[in-house]
């Protein structure tokens, strides 16, 4: 998705757009007929851009600071009328019925270590780095329409193969939609296409 002429305000307690954000943005394919859900919206960059293309956007985050920042940036870019913003843990606040044609998530994907920071909630995905992503997949499969597209960021610092296997177990056809090397890790965006029926 193109991201020209976007104006954003960044709050200090919110994960700012970084290489993984822009990689996810590069991978996502949205049409004017799509109903789009971003999980973990952070500052709202992806939701803002998606709202310029999609029929409707729902942005969610567990952080109240991120929710406020997302709303602020949707308003700043005059696309708030095409979006809903919800504070929730992953997809727990939504009823389990297919309603989205595209779901995207830039999860915390790093394994936990002894170094604790104030941004661990946005960076650490559990002891193995994949636990949050696995929980997300188990919930997302029920919210995606047949032939819908799911995008998730994964890191070579954790077990990408296990995430691929989990996606296939949920009924997705899986491929790498984008990838990049950053210092000591490789980031990938996995695309899962839901199987009809």
Residue-range domain boundaries for the chain: 19-194
Fold of the 19-194 domain: Rossmann fold (3.40.50)
pLDDT band, very low/low/confident/very high, at 114 (cuts 50, 70, 90):
low
CB 157 within 8 A of CB 110: yes
Q: Is the pLDDT of residue 81 over 80?
A: yes
Q: Are 110 and 153 in contact (CB under 8 A)?
A: no
Q: How many CB atoms lie within 10 A of CB 2?
A: 9
Which is more confidently placed, 4 or 52?
A: 52
Give whole-number Cα distances, 135 to 67, 125, 129, in Å.
Answer: 21, 10, 12
What percent of the chain is predicted at pLDDT more than 70? 87
Residue range 105-134: average pLDDT? 69
Is 0.85 surpassed by the pTM of this model? Answer: yes
């Amino acid at each position: 998705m193109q991201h020209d002429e976007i104006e954003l305000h960044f709050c200090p307690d919110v994960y700012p757009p970084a290489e993984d954000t822009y990689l996810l943005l590069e991978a996502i394919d949205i049409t004017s007929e799509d109903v789009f859900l971003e999980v973990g919206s952070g500052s709202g960059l992806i939701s803002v851009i998606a709202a310029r293309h999609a029929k409707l956007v729902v942005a969610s985050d567990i952080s109240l600071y991120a929710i406020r920042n997302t709303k602020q940036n949707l308003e700043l870019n005059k696309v708030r009328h095409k979006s809903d913003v919800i504070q929730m843990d992953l997809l727990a606040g939504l009823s389990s019925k297919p309603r989205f044609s595209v779901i995207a998530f830039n999860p915390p994907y790093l394994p936990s270590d002894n170094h604790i920071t104030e941004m661990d909630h946005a960076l650490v995905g559990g002891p193995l780095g994949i636990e949050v992503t696995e929980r997300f997949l188990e919930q997302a499969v029920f919210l995606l329409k047949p032939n819908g597209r799911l995008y998730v960021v994964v890191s070579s610092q954790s077990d990408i193969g296990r995430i691929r296997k989990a996606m296939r177990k949920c009924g997705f056809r899986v491929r790498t939609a984008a990838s990049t090397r950053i210092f000591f890790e490789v980031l990938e965006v996995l695309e899962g296409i839901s199987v009809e029926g």
